[in-house]
């Protein structure tokens, strides 16, 4: 039977207010306008759960083991004509079938830690040591929760079944119900002398150092899964997984877009006009940049394979060097005279006003590069 309490995420003894609040929250999250089609099925489930649990009659019926929304269920609230024998049977006999004792050892929770990386570590990959606070198996009791030299023993109250039968009176006469044994919490065993180090839980909190291989190409938000490195479960149960979530620090000179890197190189006007060879300090060390005579502001020079390593394949992205031409300021007399002479030679003393076309201008080149076109 569908667990409507679980669908709404409320305890079985939730008040009508709690149920209404939980429903409103989920309805907002799963509304088709917000979640799209993906949330549609869950939205229907949530609506059905609320329909049942918000109605005192239907909720009571449901708590007795009958789903009032299923065919044959008493939709009107009472035991109507459509209420079949099977439903009555399940209401009084099936709703509390003994399920056997609950195991003490359960799987532990997954854990999440964050790891700050420098850009170069994301570019090349890295090996990092991280400290995690998680639950580990208690060394004193080995996880079973009993003080060394003592053992858990079978529960006297339920004889190890984990549940007890109760006889209840109803208008159908005496009926048997099964309830979890309160003496042992449903485990079927009790620990007479719990381990003092873990209070009988079989696990303790501890700080561990774990080494993580960070592959090249990770980005902010990437999660690296380390299987079975999460919390050990209660009763020494298997550990959950540990997720390491990457946060990449911003770099002073390089900007990352996907696996491409971008930087801006400032070049004096004369060097851009005459051409030169410059040394660029990249993450791979010094690289020579060959500026052709007549290099334009906004021009992009691509250094192949000097970008970020691809996460899911071999190879690396590119490093794109954006040229920023610096126009000289504070010219002295001699420099001014020389530039004036140059402008005369080039017939640029009175340049005409020319607007660049949108296609092919500095802005479109920059935009195309950033959007990967």
Closest approach, Cβ 183 to Zn ion, in A, equals 4
Among 195, 239, 242, 325, binds Zn ion (CB under 5 A): 195
Residue whose CB is less far from Zn ion, 119 or 181:
181
Residue with Cβ nearer Zn ion (46 or 141): 141
**191 in contact with Zn ion (CB under 5 A):** no
Give least dist CB 198 to Zn ion, A: 3
Nearer to Zn ion, 45 or 193 (CB): 193
> Binding residues for Zn ion, how many (CB under 5 A)?
12
Residue 142 CB, nearest approach to Zn ion (Å)? 8
Q: List, in sequence order, the alpha helices (H) in the chain.
A: 4-8, 16-30, 32-35, 40-53, 56-63, 85-89, 119-124, 269-274, 333-345, 362-370
Nearest-angstrom CA–CA distance, 157 and 159: 6
**C-beta separation of 124 from 216 below 8 A:** yes
Query: Is 157 or 337 the residue whose CB approaches Zn ion more closely?
Result: 157
Q: In the bound complex, what is the minimum distance in angstroms from residue 197's beta carbon to Zn ion?
A: 5
Q: Which two tokens stand for residue 55?
A: 């109605």
CB of 109 to Zn ion, least distance (A): 19
Closest contact distance (angstroms) between CB of 153 and Zn ion is: 11
CA dist 223 → 10, 114, 131, 233 (Å): 30, 9, 16, 22
User: Which among 262, 224, 315 is positioned nearest to 119, based on CA atoms?
Assistant: 262
Neighbours of 298 (CB within 10 A): 16
CB closer to Zn ion out of 155 and 323? 155
For residue 239, give Cα distances in angstroms to 9, 107, 166, 187, 202.
25, 6, 37, 20, 12
DSSP letter for 249, please.
P
Site residues (CB under 5 A) for Zn ion, limited to 129-188 = 138, 140-141, 155, 157-158, 181, 183-184
Check if the beta carbon of residue 125 is closer than 8 Å to that of residue 216.
Answer: yes
By beta-carbon proximity to Zn ion, the closer residue of 146 and 263 is 146
**Residue number with CB closer to Zn ion (197 or 318):** 197
Q: How far is the CB of 159 from Zn ion (least distance, A)?
A: 8
Tokens 């990386």 locate to 117
Whichever of 29 and 156 has its CB closer to Zn ion, that residue is 156
Backbone conformation region of residue 65, classed left if phi is above 0, alpha if psi is from -120 to 50, else beta: left
Residue 10: other Cβ atoms inside 10 A: 19
What's the closest the beta carbon of residue 108 comes to Zn ion, in angstroms? 15
Q: Shortest distance, CB of residue 209 to Zn ion, whole angstroms?
A: 22
Which of 51, 110, 197, 245 is in the footprint of Zn ion by CB under 5 A?
197
Q: Given the complex with Zn ion, which of 39 and 160 has the nearer CB atom?
A: 160
Q: Which 51-70 residues touch Zn ion, going by CB under 5 A?
A: none
d(C-alpha 356, C-alpha 89), whole Å = 84
Which two tokens mark 327?
């126009």
Burial track 336-347 (b if 16+ CB lie within 10 A, e otherwise): eeeeeeeeeeee
Residues that bind Zn ion (CB under 5 A): 138, 140-141, 155, 157-158, 181, 183-184, 195, 197-198
């Amino acid at each position: 039977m569908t667990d409507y309490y679980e669908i709404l995420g409320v305890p079985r003894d939730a008040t009508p207010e709690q149920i209404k609040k939980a429903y409103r929250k989920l309805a907002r999250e799963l509304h088709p306008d917000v979640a799209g089609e993906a949330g549609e099925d869950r939205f229907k489930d949530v609506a059905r759960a609320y329909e049942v649990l918000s109605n005192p009659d239907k909720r009571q019926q449901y708590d007795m083991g009958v789903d009032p929304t299923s065919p044959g269920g008493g939709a009107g609230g009472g035991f109507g004509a459509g209420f079949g024998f099977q439903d009555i049977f399940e209401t009084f006999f099936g709703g509390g079938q003994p399920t056997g004792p609950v195991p003490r050892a359960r799987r532990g929770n997954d854990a999440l830690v964050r790891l700050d990386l420098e850009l170069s570590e994301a570019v090349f990959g890295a090996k990092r040591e991280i400290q995690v606070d998680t639950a580990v198996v208690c060394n004193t009791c080995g996880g079973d929760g009993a003080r060394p030299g003592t053992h858990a023993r079978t529960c006297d109250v339920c004889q190890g079944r984990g549940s007890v039968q109760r006889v209840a009176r109803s208008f159908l006469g005496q009926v048997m119900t099964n309830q979890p044994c309160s003496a042992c919490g449903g485990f079927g065993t009790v620990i007479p002398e719990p381990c003092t180090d873990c209070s009988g839980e079989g696990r303790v909190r501890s700080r561990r150092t774990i080494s993580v291989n960070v592959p090249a190409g990770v980005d902010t938000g990437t999660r690296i899964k380390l299987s079975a490195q999460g919390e050990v479960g209660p009763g020494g149960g298997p550990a959950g997984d540990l997720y390491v979530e990457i946060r990449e620090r911003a770099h002073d000179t390089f900007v990352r877009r996907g696996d491409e890197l971008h930087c801006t190189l400032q070049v004096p006007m004369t060097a851009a006009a005459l051409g030169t060879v410059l040394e660029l300090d990249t993450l791979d060390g010094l690289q020579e940049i060959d500026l052709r005579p007549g290099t334009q502001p906004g021009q992009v020079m691509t250094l192949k394979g000097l970008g970020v390593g691809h996460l899911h394949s071999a190879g690396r992205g590119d490093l794109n060097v954006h040229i920023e031409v610096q126009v000289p300021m504070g010219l002295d007399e001699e420099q001014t005279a020389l530039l004036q002479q140059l402008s005369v030679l080039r017939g640029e003393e009175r340049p005409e006003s020319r607007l660049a076309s949108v296609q092919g201008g500095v802005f479109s080149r920059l935009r195309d590069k950033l959007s990967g076109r």
